[in-house]
Chains A and B, each alone.
Chain A
Amino acid sequence: MRGLWIAVGVVGGLLAQAPAKRAAAPPRPAGAQSYKDLKFPALRQVEIPKVDTHTLPNGMRLYLLENHELPTVNGFALVRTGNLFDPPDKVGLAQITGTVMRTGGTTQETGDALDEKLENIAASVESSIGESSGRVSFSALKENADEVLAVFKDILTSPEFRADKLELAKTQSRSSISRRNDDPHGIAAREFDSIVYGRDNSYGWRMDYQHVNRIAREDLIAFYKRYFFPSNLMLAVYGDFSGAEMKAKLEKLFAGWTATQPAVPPFPKISAKPAAGVFLAEKADVNQTFFEIGHLGGLLNDKDFAALEVMGDILGGGFRSRLFERVRTKLGYAYSISADWGADYEHPGLFQVSGSTKSLSTSETFQVIEEEIARLRDSEVTGEELKDAKDTVLNGFVFNFDTRAKTLNRLLNYEYFGYPKDFIFQYQKAVAAVTKADILRVARERLKPKELTFVAVGKPQDFGKPLDTLGRPLVKIDLTIPEAKVEAAKADAASLAKGKALLQRVQQAVGGAERLAGVKNVMQVVEIQLAPEAGGLKVKQTNRWMAPNLFRQEMELPFGKVASFSDGATGWMKTPQGEGPLPGQALKQAQGELFRAFPRLLLSDRDPDRTVNLAGEGVVEISGKDGNVARLTVDSAGLPAKVTYLGPQGEVEEAWSDFQEEGGLKLPRKTTVSQGGRKFADATVLEVKLNTAFTPEEMRKRP
């Protein structure tokens, strides 16, 4: 029995469960009971648990907190790292390292074996790397604590980053990228970040296919080694144990871990310039506009943080905030509307108004938001607004201490970011001291109405008033997800000459350039055996190529015949379900096939649209003006051993063997295809014919 999981609430997930507002005095019928008559006893003093701290000889800091309510032991290591340290050409490296650290297992055990072992005892060990920290955590029933701690230690100190789990993480990352334009709220939040922080730095850039494709196991290992060392992490353990015993246990457990690295540098600085304007991402399948409006916020240790926080709260922090009252309650324009003065520990956060409204009321809603931001700068908030906002923070202050885990987490966060231990109490005091004049002052100093960035995701043809009525520059956001490109190796006159020479050696080895040039068409029958994880099917293909640019393929599959044709610009496809133009992805593949057609590929030095370059020892890189790139690896005899290129799901390799003569040319009879480092299929040529009599019309003709 599990119920209640389709539920609709009165406040949406977009709305920060934060603070709101005042206490008024409605006249009421005599005799009714009033909340105002209630007297509250003083709140029982909160007991702040004592956290035992120690530093181990290897530099690791320990934070231990006993809690005997339940028979569990939990803990986490907080590591100074983050995706802010991602290299620009490998965005996503930190995240993937964080994932594969656990799934890729340890030197002793595979990740799969650990899954079974841990889940058999209802325990977990997990790892992840976020924006500005990394975390490896565990959770165990008390009786299994030692066993789970041992796994935790192995993950932390000797992860193996096995290739199959890197491949899984890359596959999943690509899928996430492919789905990133499906959720309009997600688009608005993402684009707002990118626009305000800038797309050229780790605060604002995002992971694309080409980044994922470049990430290799060595990168993960190097990233891990740089950041995961004892003096760069804090280890917190809490639950049902004795502190002294746990300390001794951990000391012993980690005694052998002595890795060292230079101190980790500070996180990069933000140098974003204001991005004023309205940025529109068009999305056809929505009937609301999802928006984010704001600019850079500030730091948590800013002297005005408390006043700014209260200001943000009065603007859009809860049921009684100005935006909630006006946009939602009075106008009925939105279900979700909220605002927050964004502050972060070590870099400016984002001042942000978020929500969604029906397409029709988009511009009106934006105008109201502009007005409310301006109003904070024009006049003081009311005494009632201020009192409500402060009461909300001060009366709810106890919820900062309602679980022991919160105290522990806070302590570690403060130490991690170099904040004073009593920061929360400084904040409490500062909130109590905020005045109406403070709020007006900080609103004038820190809110920049002219510099606001508006990000709107929606359907502009349904807007009641066009966005340009806002009188701000209008910029369109292109949501197209960039396809992966293979970057060409560095080329200079010498490498170009060497590349050409190597390719000509290949031409010689297979039978000579003139024989290759004499091939006007090729017909081959191939049997393909797919690898078990690719489905294990056996497929028979008949492929025809005709110079310079026609390609036709007929395939027999268990569910029927599939035929396709392309001339490089267009094409068609026929399946048992019907026929139609070649869809984009398949057309791209066909274009790739044409680019790599054996005789043409080997004669690329004669093609003015292609560059032939030496990409490494024995490797020729051939890149076309159309964006296709292939790398040919040449063996010691000058024969082409393999070709690699980028497919829709990562790097593809075709390894050639069993060269046999046909019409004076040595052609490979066997091809092993791998994708992303794993075998995909074996192809065997059953029959090959050169320069037989068929015409372009026969190529084009639909079966």
Chain B
Amino acid sequence: MPGMLVLALLLLAPLLGQNLKDFEKKVTEFGLANGLHFIVIERHEAPVISFNTHVKVGSLFDPGGQTGLAHMFEHMAFKGTATIGSKNWTEEKKALDAVEAVFQRLEAERRKGLRADSKEIEKLQGLLKAAIEKAELYVDTNAYPRIIESNGGVGMNAGTGLEATNYYYNFPSNRLELWFLLESERFLHPVFREFYKERDVVREERRMRVESNPQGKLGEAILTTAFMAHPYRQVPIGWASDIENLRLSEAERFYKTYYVPGNIVIGIAGDVDPAEAKRLAEKYFSRLPGAPLPPGITTIEPKQEGPRRAEIESPAQPMMFIGYKRPDHHHADDPVFDVITTVLASGRTGVLYKELVRDRKLALAAISGPNFPGSQYPNLFIFLLVPNAGKTMEENEKAFQEVLEKFKNTKIDPVTLARVKTKARAGLIRRLDSNAGLATLLPLYHVAYGEWKKMFTALDDLDKVTADDVQRVAKEYFIDNGKTVAVTFQPKKASGGAK
């Protein structure tokens, strides 16, 4: 039943660590002169390697009126280069330029507004269609991903979030150099071919993830309600009308601004010799010209004054997000929130599970996550409530508030606190046996905290958390003036619980 938001919530297992010294021996870090940073993790269990390119750009940086642009570029990064994906680059380049030229004329005419000449627009639309079709003649379709797949690459995908975009797949270890070549090429000179068809694909993606999915709508609702100013309100997929008007020239500008070497960290984990990785990194990635780092986010969300609520009509069975404002991940209280989410919603000992799911049978699921939708800026501690059949959203919300009030007013016992810390330690150990996981996590920590070792040392911060801290933080942040609720409700005419 749950879509990707719930799944992601469940996957928010506690981060943390142990035995840093042993692990450190397997890790090699190096930077290139242009600012690109590499983290290599040796695991020689099997002749395979996982790669993860972490770019510090996401939908937070989408320009006004062009939401979805970071995600759109991510799609274009699979379209190839001048040398990969073209049947005749000279001719294709001409044809692509012609598409943009017609587009400029069409835009210019449309900008005349009421005085635009509809016949001229119609004519230009015809020309545009013809120009696009011509450009497509030169495309060797999907050549770039095809090379990866036919060379035994598995798990190929990319993801655009609010704060970062990741590109990842796994190769047999004898294809190490092929990865260096392909990955450097896609960021050195990507070609934005089939841009306008891909825009339709992305539009379909929005229909699938959001417009045909109540939970997707609910996710958008809580973010746009909780964040009035901060770009955390910009979900990666973007607004429908923005997607439909995205332009190739803007995507190119976006790429040039944000895909600079100093904004990229790469994780490589598996059967790899770090010296060889370094040699290949110099050979292929030094070609990326150094450039100034892009500007950061300066908007600060104004203080929330009063609770907020968004309601969405949906024939689906109801569900609810409840978010409370919390500070970013550099704040001293960050580990306390990690403790709180484990106490409230981890496993079958989670307080919400015991109260709402197991004993009172009000909810099918009641879970929490410490950061939503990101963690670099002040964000939300979030809950998801899914009522049982025959139980109302109101009953659930009321019971949830009772549990939360009780939690705020009762000090957690030493056994519970110890359990959280044990789970955290074990959680880290269990994360160390996956190449793909390590290639993802080390760059993530490097970017978030300036060093990957934080993945381990965060455990020490967590160990220092006391029961008093937990109560203090719960009382300070779980308040009406930080609260946002997004809930679906069924249309009035709906009859009966069965349908």
Contacts and interface: CB of A to CB of B under 8 A. Distances in A.
**Do the two shown chains form a genuine complex with each other?**
yes
Interface of A: 1-13, 17, 19-24, 26-29, 32-35, 38, 40-47, 69-72, 103, 112, 115-116, 119-124, 139, 141, 167-168, 171-172, 174-184, 186, 209, 284-288, 290, 318-320, 324-325, 328-336, 356-358, 387-388, 391-392, 394-399, 401-404, 479-483, 533, 580, 583-585, 587-588, 648-649
A585 B497 contact: yes
Contacts, number: 371
B358 A168 contact: yes
A406 to B, nearest CB: 10
A399 B1 contact: no
Given A35-B147, A40-B178, 13 more contacts: A3-B164, A3-B448, A5-B9, A24-B140, A26-B83, A35-B178, A43-B173, A288-B211, A319-B149, A320-B149, A388-B150, A480-B498, A481-B498
Contacts of A6: 5, 8, 161-162, 219, 235-236, 373
Interface in B158-199: 158-164, 166, 170, 172-175, 177-178, 181-182, 185, 194, 197-199
A392 B86 contact: no
A32 B207 contact: no
Nearest to A334: B204
A28 B83 contact: yes
Contacts of A40: 174-175, 177-178
A23 B390 contact: no
B303 interface: no
B389 interface: yes
Interface of B: 1, 3-5, 8-9, 11-12, 15, 45-48, 71, 74-75, 78, 82-89, 136, 140-143, 145-147, 149-164, 166, 170, 172-175, 177-178, 181-182, 185, 194, 197-205, 207-209, 211-214, 219, 235-237, 271, 314-317, 329, 334, 346-349, 357-361, 364, 369-376, 386-390, 415, 418-419, 422-423, 425-427, 429-430, 432-433, 435, 444, 448-449, 458, 492, 494-499
Nearest to A391: B150
B317 A332 contact: no
A285 B45 contact: no
A71 B181 CA distance: 37
B383 to A, nearest CB: 15
B143 A24 contact: yes
B8 A3 contact: no
Residue of B369, B386, B429 most packed against chain A (CB within 10 A): B429
Contacts of B214: 182, 285
Contacts of B348: 103, 112, 115, 119
Contacts of B426: 122-123, 141
A4 B163 contact: yes
A358 B207 contact: yes
Grouping DSSP codes into helix (H, G, I), strand (E, B) and loop, the A interface class, with mixed when no group exceeds half, is: loop
B118 to A, nearest CB: 23
Contacts of B358: 112, 168
Contact of B181 (A35, A318, A333): A35
Residue of B136, B209, B448 most packed against chain A (CB within 10 A): B209
Given A1-B448, A334-B201, A20 B47 contact: no
Contact of A26 (B140, B197, B349, B357): B140
A347 to B, nearest CB: 26
A56 B75 CA distance: 55
A388 B150 CA distance: 5
Contacts of A585: 390, 495-498
Contacts of B430: 70, 72, 139
A340 to B, nearest CB: 15
B46 A46 contact: yes
B389 A174 contact: yes
Contact of A186 (B1, B271, B376, B387): B1
B401 to A, nearest CB: 14
Given A12-B208, A186-B1, A588-B496, A26 B155 contact: no
A105 to B, nearest CB: 12
12 contacts: A3-B444, A4-B166, A8-B160, A32-B82, A112-B358, A172-B388, A174-B389, A178-B389, A319-B156, A395-B152, A399-B154, A580-B492
A628 B307 CA distance: 46
A324 B149 CA distance: 14
Nearest to A319: B145
Contacts of A167: 361
Contacts of A396: 149, 152-154, 172
Nearest to B3: A183
A335 B174 contact: no
Nearest to B194: A329
Nearest to B399: A535
A335 B209 CA distance: 10
Residue of A12, A70, A399 most packed against chain B (CB within 10 A): A399
Given A8-B205, A20-B145, A288-B204, A3 B359 contact: no
B292 to A, nearest CB: 24
Given A28-B82, A120-B418, A181-B499, A395 B150 contact: yes
B85 to A, nearest CB: 7
Contacts of B432: 70
B334 A120 contact: no
A99 to B, nearest CB: 12
A587 B497 CA distance: 12
Contacts of A182: 1, 214, 316-317
A181 B458 CA distance: 42
Contacts of A391: 150-152
Nearest to B427: A122
Contacts of B433: 69-70, 403
A483 B498 contact: yes
A394 to B, nearest CB: 8
A26 B390 contact: no
The 8 closest A-B pairs by CB, nearest first: A395-B152, A332-B200, A584-B495, A584-B496, A122-B426, A7-B159, A1-B329, A396-B152
Contact of B151 (A12, A44, A325, A395): A395
A577 to B, nearest CB: 10
A186 B212 CA distance: 12
B48 A402 contact: yes
Given A69-B45, A120-B419, A480 B163 contact: no
A70 B431 CA distance: 10
A329 to B, nearest CB: 6
B270 to A, nearest CB: 8
A122 B423 contact: yes
Contact of A20 (B85, B87, B146, B211): B146
Given A6-B5, A481-B498, A398 B152 contact: yes
A28 B212 CA distance: 43
A330 B314 CA distance: 34
A183 B348 CA distance: 26
Contacts of A331: 197
Given A6-B162, A20-B146, A119 B347 contact: yes
Nearest to B75: A10
A139 B427 CA distance: 12
Given A23-B150, A44-B271, A318-B145, A335 B496 contact: no
Residue of B87, B357, B426, B433 most packed against chain A (CB within 10 A): B426
A356 B209 CA distance: 11
B41 to A, nearest CB: 13
A2 B371 contact: yes
A677 to B, nearest CB: 12
B198 A332 contact: yes
Contacts of B329: 1
B150 A5 contact: no
Given A1-B449, A22-B146, A402-B46, A120 B422 contact: yes
A6 B159 CA distance: 9
B143 A26 contact: yes
Contacts of B373: 5-6
Contacts of A175: 317, 364, 386-389
Contacts of A284: 315
B83 A119 contact: no
